[in-house]
Structure 1
Amino acid sequence: MSKPPPSSRRLWDLSPPVSPTAPIFPGDAPFQLQWTARIGPQCPVNLSAVSTSPHVGAHADAPLHYADEGAAIDAVALDPYLGRCRVIHAIDCGPLILPQHLAHAAAELPPRVLVRTAQKADTVWREDFTAYAPETLAWLAERGVRLVGIDTASVDPASSKTLDAHQQLRAHDLRVLENLVLDEVPEGDYELIALPLRWVGACASPVRAILRSLT
C-alpha cells in the first residue's frame, strides 16, 4: 500500500518557547524542569518533572479562571479550539483593541478570531501590553465568534482588578487563547488547532497552538 503524499498546507507555530525565563505575571509560578532520573548503568531512560503555572506560554483560560462557578479546563468543549479562524492585524493600536480596529476584516467572520497587536511578541514581562476593550468582545460575540485570541499576556490590562474583558468572555461563553506568537502570520483565514490538555480542576492549560493554511 503506497503512502499518501505529504501535505502541502503550510503550518505556523503560534507557541512561544516555554522555559524558566518565559515571561509571567508577577507572583505567578514560573516554569521549572528537573530531572528525576537519567540514563546510566542502573537506569534505561531519562525522566523529568515539571512545575509551572498553566498560564505560562500559549495557553487557554478556563471559565474557572475568572468565575468560581466556571468550568475547569478539563470540562470545556474542544470544538472552539479547532477549525476555521481569522487573523486580524491591529498592530500598534494602543492600549485597547476597539471594534474600529477590526472592522476592516469583519465581513463573514469565522467562529475564531486571533488579533495581532505587536510587530514582535514580547519575550520579557511588560505591563503596557495591548488588551481587548470589553465592548470589542461583545461585538465579536454578536457576530458569531466563539473563540478569541491575542498575542499578549491577557485580554485585560495588567493593572485591571475588575477583569472586565474576562467577564465579557464569561457573559458570552467565549473561549480564549493568550500569549500567542503571530509575528509571521499575514491577515487572513486559516485552520486553528490549539487543544488544551485535560488537566482536571485546572484554571487553564498550555496549548501548542498552530495555524494551517486552508489550501
Structure 2
Amino acid sequence: MTRWIDISQPLDENVPVWPGDTPFSYRLTWTKEDTGSVNVGQLTMSTHTGTHIDAPFHFDSSGKKVIDLSPDLYLGPVRVVYLKHPQTIGPEELKGENLEGVSRLLIRTDTWLDRSSFPAAIPPVHPTLAPFLAERGIRLLGLDLPSVDPLDSKELPAHHALTSHGVHILEGAVLYRVEAGDYEMVALPLPLTEADGSPVRAMLRPI
C-alpha cells in the first residue's frame, strides 16, 4: 500500500510564528493523577501557526471565514512543482511547467528549510500569478513559505489578487523531501465558524 507523506509542520513550543503573533503552547489542565482517569490538554495558538490555510477574512473584513470554504478545495489531486530558490514566484517561473488539468498546485522552493526560526525574507508571489493560475483552473495554491506576500507588506497584493481570482491559499507546507509530481492531498481545516485561518494536517500520497 502506498504510504502517505506528512507535509505538516509539527506543533510544539519550538514552532516559529509570525513575529509578535501568539506563541504555541500546550499544557495539561487536568492530569490522570489528579482526575483518576484522564489527561486533558489545553492549546494556545494562532490560527496561522505552522501549516495552515488562509480564509479571505484574514485580509478582508467582509471576506469568507473558514467555515464558509468548501472542504473540496483541500481534498483531491494536487501537482507539486519544484522551483529551487526563486527570487519571486510568477508566471515566468512557471512557464515551463505543464499545468493542464491541475486544480491544486503546491510549489516547493526550499527557501525556508530551518523550521526552528521565522525566515528573514521569502520569495513572494507576484500578483500576476493569480490570473495565470485562474485561467488554468487552479483553485488552490500551496507554498513552503509562511506567506504569499513579502513579509513586510501591509497591502498584501498577492493575497488579494489570488482571492479575487478564486485561488485559495495554503501556507507553511513542509515540502523539502517531496519530489515534483502528482499526488492525492488531504489538508482539511478545522470547522471554525468565526476564524480567519486554520492549522491543517496536510498529507500527500503519490498517484
TM-score scaled by length of structure 2: 0.95
Question: Residue 40 of structure 1: CA displacement?
Answer: 1.7
Alignment correspondent of 1:87: 80
Amino-acid identity (%): 38
Matches of 1:28 and 1:119, distance apart in 2: 22
The number of residue pairs the alignment matches comes to 206
Contact kept? 1:127, 1:159, Cα under 8 Å: no
Alignment of 1:99-110 (within 5 A): 99-110=91-102
User: Are 1:112 and 2:104 an aligned pair?
Assistant: yes
Task: Pick from 134, 141, 145 the counterpart of residue 138 of structure 2.
Answer: 145
Matches of 2:151 and 2:112, distance apart in 1: 19
Q: 1:98 to 1:33 in 2, by over 3 A?
A: same
TM-score scaled by length of structure 1: 0.91
Q: If you compute each CA radius of gyration, which structure gives the higher value, 1 or 2?
A: 1
Alignment correspondent of 1:129: 122
CA RMSD of aligned residues (A): 1.4
Which consecutive residues of structure 2, in runs of 5 or more, have no partner in the other structure? none
Question: Residue 122 of structure 1: CA displacement?
Answer: 3.4
Task: Pick from 141, 164, 183 the counterpart of residue 171 of structure 1.
Answer: 164
Matches of 1:121 and 1:90, distance apart in 2: 14
Moved more, 160-169 or 100-109: 100-109
Contact kept? 2:79, 2:181, Cα under 8 Å: yes
Which consecutive residues of structure 1, in runs of 5 or more, have no partner in the other structure? 1-7
Task: Pick from 146, 151, 156 the counterpart of residue 158 of structure 1.
Answer: 151
Matches of 1:22 and 1:36, distance apart in 2: 21
Moved more, 132-141 or 148-157: 132-141
Amino acid at match of 1:86: R
> Runs of at least 4 residues of structure 1 off by over 6 A?
none
Question: Residue 99 of structure 1: CA displacement?
Answer: 1.4
Deviations 1:19-45 (A, max 9, x none): 122111111111111111111264200
